[in-house]
Amino acid sequence: MRSSLPLSPLSLLLVLSLVLLPLTMAVKEEDFKKCSQSSFCRRLRSIANKQESAPSGTFNSPYSLSPPQAIEDGSWKWPLESSLYPEVKFEFRADVLAEGDGIIRLRIDVIDSTTPFKRYNETARWALLDTNPPLSSSATIKTSSGKSIITYGPSSSKLSLEIQHSPLKVTQLRNGKPEIVFNERSLFHMEHFRIKDVESAQEILSESEQVVLKGDQQDRSWFEESDIDAFEETWKKWRDSKPKGLEGFSLDLTFPGVKHVYGLPEHASPLSLPDTIGPNAHYSDPYRLYNVDIFEYLADSPMSLYGAIPLLHAHSKGHSVGVLNLVASDTFVDVKHDNDAVRTHWVSESGILDVLLLPGPKPQQLFEQYAVLTGPTPLPPQWSTAYHQCRWNYNDEADVLEVDRKFDEADIPLDVTWLDIEYAEEHRYFDWNNRFFPDPVKMIDAVASKGRKMVVIVDPHIKKTDSFRIYSDAKELDVLIKKSDGNNFEGWCWTGSSVWVDFFNEKSWAWWTKMFDLKTWKDSTNALFIWNDMNEPSVFDGPEISMPRDNIHAGGWEHRDVHNINGMMFHNQTAHALIARETPAKRPFVLSRSFFAGSQRYGAIWTGDNMGDWEHLAGETAMLLSNNIAGMVFSGADVGGFFGNPTPELLVRWYQAGAFMPFFRAHAHIDTKRREPYLFDEPIRGYLRDIIRLRYQLLPVWYNAFHDSSLTGVPIMRPQYAVFPEDEQGFAIDDQYYIGDSGLLFKPVVKEGAETSEVYISDAQPYYNYFTHHLYPASAHQTLSLSTPLSTFPLLIQGGSIIPIRQRVRRSSPLMWQDPFTLTIALSKDGKASGQLYLDDGVSYSYQQGEYIWKDLRFDGNTLKSTSKANIEPTSREEGVVAYDPENNSWAQAVSHVKIESIVILGMKGEPKTIKADGQEVDWVYENGVASNGKREGESSMLIIKNPGVGIVGDWEIVFS
């Protein structure tokens, strides 16, 4: 969070003295680099311009391969040479992974360098579950006529990798048809370490003018360019010493036969990424992946934001493929749609080429393949999926308890109250400000007595004062990030003069864990959880409001090498610290602002400092969908917008949108008016209360979705193309989505004064209005127009779905654990439906020992059955997981008394004669209406069975005749 003026005197003095933060409500684009302002991007992006202007067939890659050598089963390497620098030795390696149905890993690095430098090669260590995943023993290779062809994957996939030796080109094919091509445009280039040769360069006319690096006088100008900033770079007042000189690399990846590519979060851009170059360019600069603290970001821009996941999906009606580019340095990506393919150009400041090709062939498999590599989101604490209330800042203990009480008075449920930076004395996180929070444990206990939790912020900047134990410990351990001269780096942030712990240094890990121990942090309890903000890292007086690139981390690596991983390292260690603070361990909750590939393993993220306006509300859906398809499923946006004072109408629409985000938190800037939902008069208060209560009623649906994602990495927010991968009309839709596999289709209302909304339907199934049970008959590729006054919004149930809900809403979700369920059954056009219900204790890891229930719910038109499902996936993947006993586990026994209190069936074509639950007749009420198999629109028929006498644990069946 960055802002104008906080309340505390120290913050006021800091901001006024440094004049660091803007006072106007707008992003300062000049604070962040464009491609033309980064020497590596200018140099390497220019190769594409040369290729574009060269006559057809005359621009060929200078890189070529020698014959391959086998390393082990599933792995081969080739000597790689550049005609530009024959003396420099490169190596190309291809691995076929054992898991993932045909994932290919391609790596290129410099070997036997004559300089003391090496390229950063540890991104995989932090992003992947296994730095070197197991290899396939069934892959085979044949080499002839200057080509190596690897055959791999399941026999049904018919996958192959064709490696052209000279000029270098690599093609992934399925059934002989190319789906991914590396170096099709000959844009791959890996700069090598060298000594600056001033005498060999042409005369430099200006700082920005490019010059040819000739060295031995070989003319390389047709391909390679350099500039005065190649070995030392100055931007504004900051100097980057660049001791290694040139170390950037670029690659081009082409996706034949597709028109849509998705991914590259985090950007405020459409889900289907528009062009950045060419005649149809939507943006004038490439998509940038460089985690920054950006003030009031634009609602539509390729500018970098807080997170960076270098993952791209390419999708067509016939196939889906993906690429994961394991690079953590500053990266720009150009996208261009041509008639025959989508072409991309990736340019990075440092690192090795380490690219994983995901074969698909459908979106579902891409999600699973990415989870095989980087891991899925583990099951979070159940309470964290409910409603969170935050602002910068709740002033003191009385304020916190007043907010807590007011929610109860207004009959609005609440699970978590948050405290921003002002809770800490002089922003020394861990140290409470005793003037305003004299007894934090008592305050937390009071909140926890209602089943609620609290979250406080712990940012990575540490106040540089010897009286602060965190600083003195870190200094003594020597685990602080260094400047290029080897001294501890100091910068400015909320604490004033600050230092940063180097979480790449393994010595910091056990120490950080100890900081959260309840015996060490005595003003904490196990009901207190953590918010990691500012971890890009944000440095107020640093270049691009971040850390100098020539800072040094453990292992001698420069910050430029690891920048995009930095926030994940902080997130990781904080999550592990919370796990370690209790025995037996409980699931952690840590919110992070910065993230990278693999961050999903450690907790939730949010989209940062958004604006409370209609434009940002409209843009959040696409951002969150992009996060979800890239594995970052536990994500949300500041409900209401962080900046500004939304009108009551806009605030209601924000809450409606927020209630259908996986992470549902209201948050606001310190300068905004208080906008807790209980503060408003009717009907606004009622609208806000109703939508929050709806979130609680639907918590079983959300927990089902989190559970599914924890097994295979599937998104919680599922875009249209992922649910219906063959419907081309839905490929660019990014303003509506499905919640897991529930069949619930949601669309936020994002236009002021909107009284109607349109929802696109792909499949030939009936859809039901969740609130009114109005039935829209089955008709594929139709657009429905729904009435959406401020009191409602589009929420549809797909025919064929069974929705488990809890109608009784209590003041916090943990208090609902014994409450009964209602099953809403929306029949398909053939009169059937299916669904699921997963439950565990919501806080522990006992589910890994079989302590849960998981029911498969099915209605075939005559019989409704609940049968236990076997949780196969964790059993096969997680060490120590035991076989699932559906009824004889302690959790199942604890909830054995919980009943199904009501069953509502929509769309039946007629009233049954009898209904028996496990042989006993039950009572029901039937209301005539439109049937699911008809062609008429209108109020659906509804059959309600009250108290059917069945529970959530045992298997049962209800027979209709």
Q: List, by residue number, the catalytic residues.
A: 533, 536, 609
Tokens 């391969």 locate to 65
User: How far apart are the C-alpha atoms of 373 and 375, rounded to whole Å?
Assistant: 6
Tokens 């500012």 locate to 534
Residue type, 724: F
268-294 burial, b if ≥16 CB within 10 A, otherwise e?
A: bbbbbbbbbbeeeeebebbbbbbbbbb
CB atoms within 10 A of CB 428: 18
Q: Which of 268, 162, 251 is nearest to 627 (CA)?
A: 268
If phi > 0 it is left, if psi is from -120 to 50 it is alpha, else beta; for residue 223 that is: alpha
Task: Using the Cα atoms of residue 59, residue 63, residue 69 and residue 73 in order, give the sign of their dihedral.
Answer: negative
**Cis-peptide into 777, omega within 30 deg:** no
List beta partners, residue 577. none
What is the token pair recorded at 124?
A: 């995989």
80: three-class secondary structure by DSSP: strand
Q: Which of 873, 855, 860 is nearest to 825 (CA)?
A: 860
Tokens 């009501």 locate to 902
- Please calculate the CA angle 955-957-958 and round it to the nearest 5 degrees: 150
Tokens 């488990």 locate to 804
User: How far apart are the C-alpha atoms of 558 and 752, rounded to whole Å?
Assistant: 48
User: How far apart are the C-alpha atoms of 208 and 224, rounded to whole Å?
Assistant: 16
686: three-class secondary structure by DSSP: helix
User: How far apart are the C-alpha atoms of 192 and 195, rounded to whole Å?
Assistant: 10
724-730 long-range contacts (CB < 8 A, ≥24 apart) are 724/762, 724/763, 725/315, 725/317, 725/320, 725/362, 725/363, 725/364, 726/317, 727/762, 727/763, 727/781, 728/317, 729/760, 729/762, 729/781, 730/760, 730/762
User: How far apart are the C-alpha atoms of 667 and 638, rounded to whole Å?
Assistant: 5
Task: Using the Cα atoms of residue 233, residue 234, residue 238 and residue 241 in order, give the sign of their dihedral.
Answer: positive
C-alpha distances (whole Å) from 99 to each of 10, 153, 359, 730 are: 54, 9, 12, 30
User: How far apart are the C-alpha atoms of 15 and 22, rounded to whole Å?
Assistant: 10
